[in-house]
Amino acid sequence: MRHKSLYVYIWLILLLAAVLAAGSLVGVVIVSPFDATKTSELIFWEIRLPRVLLAAIVGAMLSVSGAVLQGVLRNSLSDPYILGVSAGGALGAAVSMSFGLPLYAVCSLSFLAALAAVILVYSFSRSSSGVRPEVLVLAGVALSSLLGAALVAVILSSDSIQSVYFWLFGSFAFASPVFVKIAAVTAAIGISVAVFLSKQLNILLLGEEEAISLGVNVKFVRMMLLFVASLLSAASVAMCGIIGFVGLIVPHAVRLIIGANNILLIPASGLLGASFMVTADLLSRTLISPAELPVGIITAFIGAPFFIWLLRRKTNV
Amino acid sequence: MSELLKIEKLCAGYGGPDVINDVTMRAEKGEFIALMGPNGSGKTTFLRALLGILKATSGSILMSGERLDKVNPKERAKRISFIPQVSSPVPGFSVEEIVAMGRNPHDTGPTKDRAAVESSLDRLNLTALKDADISRISGGEYQRVLIARALAQGTDIMLLDEPTAHLDIKYRVATMRILGSLRSEKLIIGVFHDIGLVKEFADRVVMMKNGRVIAYGNVEETLSDKVLNNVFDIIF
C-alpha cells in the first residue's frame, strides 16, 4: 500500500513537470527560454511562465480546498464552486476592486466573503444529526446564484478592467509575477495547515461523537479547516475569477487511486490539481487560437457531467 | 485509593429540561456493566455525558478522584474510549488505518504507536485483514475493528453504545465474548438490549427509565421479573 502511493506520487510529480514544460513552451507562438530573440525571452519570462505557474498554484489551491471541504462537511459533493464559496470570494474581490483598494485588501475581503459564504451554507444544512447532504448542495447552489447575480451587478456598475467573463468563467490572462508570489505564499500557508490537520480530518470523517472520543478538538479543527478552504479558494478567485468543478473532480480522481486517507490525499490532490489546471489553461488558449476561451468553460465541460454522475451514484438513482 | 469511576447526582440534557436526572453510580476496573432501559430512557445521553459530548448541568463525574469536566478532550480520550453502533463505515480506509486512529490522543511516537496497533490487531484476529478496505468487510469484522481501535487507545474505561445492535446472533455472542475477555483489564460500560446476553456476560446492570436509575446492582436483582415488569410494562 505504501509502495503504491509512492509510485503514484512519483507519477504525479513527473506529470506536473511535463505539463509545466508544455504549458510554458506552447501557445500562440512557441517559445523557449533559450531563444536568442528578445521577444521570445520576454514572452517566456514575463507572460508565459507567470501564467503557467499561477495556473498550477491555483489548481493546487482549489483542489486542496475541495478535498478539505469534502472531508469537513463529510459530503463528497462539496467543492468551493458548488457551495458558493467561490462566488462569495469573487463578490468580495469585485466590490473591493470597484473601490480601488490595494491588492492585499482585495484578497483579505475576498477571504472574509468566502468564509462568510461557507459558514452560511454550513449552518443552513446542519441539523442535530449532522450535515444534510441535499440541503448543503441546494443551499450552496442558491447562495451561488444569489452571489453571482450580485457580482454581475457590481461589475456592470463599476469601471473595473476585468469583465463579467473574467469573474464568472475565470482566466489566467492577468497573471503577473506579483500574483504568482502572493498565490505561492497563500498556497504554502493554506496547504501546510491542511496537511498538518489531515490526520485530525481523517478522524472527523468518522463523525462528531467518535472524533471527540478519540481526542479531537472538533470545533477548533473544523473551524481551522473551513478557514483554510476559504482562504485557498478566495485567493484563487481574487486573482483569476471563478473556475468551477476543479475542487470536485481532482480529489475524487485521487481518491480512486490512493484511497480516502487525507494524509496522502491532500498533497496528491494538490499535485494533480496543478497539472489539471495547467492543461485546462493550455487548452483554453490553444483550442481557438489566436482567440482565448475562458478556462472555466473547459473545467465546466469536464466537471458538470462528472458532478451529475456523482450525484446519480450518491443518490442511487 | 479512590474508585476508578464515581458519578454523583449527574444531570445532563440538550439545552432544554434535563434528560438524565440524579444518576449516581460507582464502578471499578474489572467490571462489565450493562446499561439497560426502554428507548428514550436516557442511556445514550448518559454515555454522551461520560464522553464529554454533553456538559453536565449539575453533579459530577470523577475518574480516579479527578473531575472529568476539568480534563481537556485529548486527556479524556486517554482514559475513556468509545465503541459506537456498527454503521456504514467510510470507504477508502484500511482496517489498520482505522485502528491506528486510536493512537490519536497519545504522543508516544511512531514506534510505540505501531506496536500498540499491531498488538490490538493481533488480539482481535485482524492481522490478516489489516490492509482490507473497511467498507468491504462484514459487520462483525467491523465491530472487531472498532474494539481493536478502543484497545489501541489504551484506556481504563471502555464505553459502548449498542455494539451488537446490527449483528446476527453469531457475531453478537462473539462480540460479547471478546468484551468479556477484556474485562479483567478494563471497566466496560455498554448499552445493551439483549437480556439473555446481559445475563450471561455482565456483572452488574444499571436499569434506567425516564432519565433516572431505577435499579442498580447484580444481574439477578436488576433483571428480575418485577423490575422488568416495571420498566418495560411487560408481564413476564
How much is the ipTM here? 0.90
Per the CB < 8 A criterion, the answer to whether B156 and B79 are in contact is yes
Per the CB < 8 A criterion, the answer to whether B205 and B192 are in contact is no
What's the mean pLDDT in A181-198? 96
Closest to A205 (Cα-Cα) out of A214, A149, B224: A214
pLDDT category of residue A159 using cuts at 50, 70 and 90 = low
Please give the mean pLDDT across all residues of chain A.
88
Interface of B with A in 29-58 (CB under 8 A): 48, 51-53
pLDDT category of residue A317 using cuts at 50, 70 and 90 = very low
CB contact under 8 A, A259 and B76: no
pLDDT category of residue A102 using cuts at 50, 70 and 90 = confident
CB contact under 8 A, B82 and A209: yes
pLDDT at A53 over 90: yes
Q: What is the residue-wise DSSP string for B194-233? A: -HHHHHHH-SEEEEEETTEEEEEEEHHHHTSHHHHHHHH-
The 10s digit of each residue's pLDDT in B129-149 is 999 999 999 888 998 999 999
% of residues, chain A, pLDDT over 90 = 45
The 10s digit of each residue's pLDDT in A280-311 is 999 998 888 788 889 999 999 988 888 888 87
What's the mean pLDDT in A44-50? 86
Chain B partners within 8 Å of A212 (Cβ): 51-53, 73, 77
Q: Which residue of B has its CA nearest to A201?
A: B101
Chain A partners within 8 Å of B91 (Cβ): 260
Q: Where are the beta strands (DSSP E) in chain A?
A: 126-127, 130-131
What's the mean pLDDT in A153-163? 75
Please give the mean pLDDT across all residues of chain B.
90
Closest to A186 (Cα-Cα) out of A119, A131, A110: A110
Chain B partners within 8 Å of A261 (Cβ): 92-93, 97
pLDDT at A161 over 70: no
Per the CB < 8 A criterion, the answer to whether A59 and A274 are in contact is yes
Chain B partners within 8 Å of A209 (Cβ): 48, 51, 53, 82, 84
pLDDT computed for residue A130 by the predictor = 66
The 10s digit of each residue's pLDDT in A193-215 is 999 999 999 999 998 889 999 99
Q: Which of A31-35, A242-246, B18-22 has the lowest mean pLDDT?
A: A31-35
CB contact under 8 A, B94 and A209: no
pLDDT computed for residue A256 by the predictor = 87
pLDDT category of residue A2 using cuts at 50, 70 and 90 = low
The 10s digit of each residue's pLDDT in B171-212 is 888 888 888 888 888 999 999 988 888 998 999 999 999 999
Q: What is the residue-wise DSSP string for B79-140? A: HEEEE----PPPTT-BHHHHHHGGGTT--S-HHHHHHHHHHHHHHTT-GGGTTSBGGGS-HH
CB contact under 8 A, A261 and B133: no
pLDDT category of residue B26 using cuts at 50, 70 and 90 = very high
Q: Which of A72-81, A130-139, B78-87, B220-229 has the lowest mean pLDDT?
A: A130-139
Per the CB < 8 A criterion, the answer to whether A234 and A114 are in contact is yes
How would you classify the pairing of strands B5-13 and B157-161?
unpaired
Q: Which residue of B has its CA nearest to A206?
A: B90
Least CB-CB distance to A255: which of B52, B73, B92?
B92
pLDDT computed for residue A249 by the predictor = 92
Task: Calculate how close chain B gets to A263, using CA atoms only, in Å.
Answer: 11
CB contact under 8 A, A259 and B94: yes
Chain A partners within 8 Å of B93 (Cβ): 202, 259-261
pLDDT computed for residue A265 by the predictor = 96
- Test mutation, A1, A213, A314, chain B, max B CBs within 10 A: A213
Whether A73 and chain B come into contact, CB under 8 Å, resolves to no
pLDDT computed for residue B1 by the predictor = 56
Core vs surface per residue A145-178: b (16+ CB within 10 A) or e: eebbebbeebbeeeebebeeebbbbbbbbebeee
* Residue A197 CA to its chain's centroid (Å): 19
Closest to B99 (Cα-Cα) out of B83, B76, B87: B83
CB contact under 8 A, A209 and B53: yes
pLDDT at A70 over 90: yes
What's the mean pLDDT in B46-60? 90
Task: Calculate how close chain A gets to B200, using CA atoms only, in Å.
Answer: 28
Whether B132 and chain A come into contact, CB under 8 Å, resolves to no
Whether A314 and chain B come into contact, CB under 8 Å, resolves to no
Closest to B85 (Cα-Cα) out of B9, B10, B193: B193
Interface of A with B in 251-270 (CB under 8 A): 255, 259-261
Q: Which grid coordinates are listed for A293?
A: 476561451
Tell me the C-alpha distance between A183 and A174, whole Å: 13
Whether B154 and chain A come into contact, CB under 8 Å, resolves to no
Whether A156 and chain B come into contact, CB under 8 Å, resolves to no
10 Å CB burial of residue B8 (0-12, 13-18, 19+) is middle
pLDDT computed for residue A122 by the predictor = 86
Residue with cell string 487560437: A289
